[in-house]
Amino acid sequence: MPDKFSTGNEEIDRQFGDSIPVPTLMLIEGGHGTGKSAMVALFMHGLLESGRKVLCITENTVKEYIENMKAITYNFSHAFLQNKLTIMPLHVYGIKWNKEQAAYLLPVISKYISNSFKETNVVIIDSLSLLTVFADPAKILDFFTQCKYLVASGMTVILTTHPNDIPPDIAQRVTGSVDVYLQLGSTNIGGKDVKTCKIVKLIGADTTPESGFAFEVNQIFGIKVVPISMANA
C-alpha cells in the first residue's frame, strides 16, 4: 500500500504538495460552517479509493452522515455496505450526557480506536468537541500521545476540532505533536463569501505545499479551489 494518497481532486492535491503522506496524524481546526466535514469527506474519499478501511466517528447518525455527504457529492453508501467504511455515531438515542459521563468519553474512544487497529487503517473523528468539552488537560494529552503511537504503528488519524476545544495551556503542545495542522476559516473575496484553508504544518509532502488557499463547497464538485490569491482577501 503506497505511503501517500491522492484526494482525487488535482487542484487540492497541488495545494498539499501533490499528495498527502500516510500514516499521519492530522488536525483540522475551524469554526462552524468553515467546511471541516467537507474537507474530511474529501480525504476519506481519497483514502477509501486507495484501498484503505476507514472508521469514522461522528456526531451524526449513520443515515444523517451518509445523506449529508451525498449532498456535497461524496457518496459513501457503497463503501459502507462493503464494510470498507464503518460509521460510529457519538450520540446514543435516549441518553442525556452529563458532565461526569462525558468526562469518560475521550478515554473510552481512545481505547476503542486502539482495539480497532487490526480492522482499520484510518480513524476519523469529526469532531473532538463532545469528547474534550469536559475532559481534563491530562486526558487530552494522553489521547494525542495514544494517537501518535497508533500513527507510528501504521494507522492514519484525522481529527476535527473547533477553536478553543483544546485548552490554551496545552494547545501548543497538541498542535506541535501532529504531522498535519490545517486551520479553516471564511472570508469575502471580491464580494464573494468563500472558505479558507491555512496549511500551518504538513510534514512529508512531495513538494513544498502552498501556505493556504480559498475554496467553496460545491454540490456537484465537492470542494472546489477558488482561483484567487488569499493575499487579496
Over residues 115-130, the pLDDT tens digits come to: 988 899 999 999 998 8
Please state the pTM of the whole predicted model. 0.92
Helices 36-49 and 62-70: crossing angle in degrees, nearest 10, is: 90
Q: What is the CATH number of the domain that holds 128?
A: 3.40.50.300
118-176 tens-digit pLDDT: 899 999 999 998 888 888 899 999 999 999 999 999 999 999 999 989 999 999 999 99
For the chain, the domain total comes to 1
Assign 57 a pLDDT band (cuts: 50, 70, 90).
very high
Long-range Cβ contacts of 33-37 (<8 Å, 24+ apart): 33/186, 34/184, 34/185, 34/186, 34/195, 34/196, 35/184, 35/195, 35/197, 35/215, 35/217, 35/223, 36/126, 36/127, 36/160, 36/184, 37/68, 37/69, 37/126, 37/160
- The residue range of the domain holding 70 is 4-232
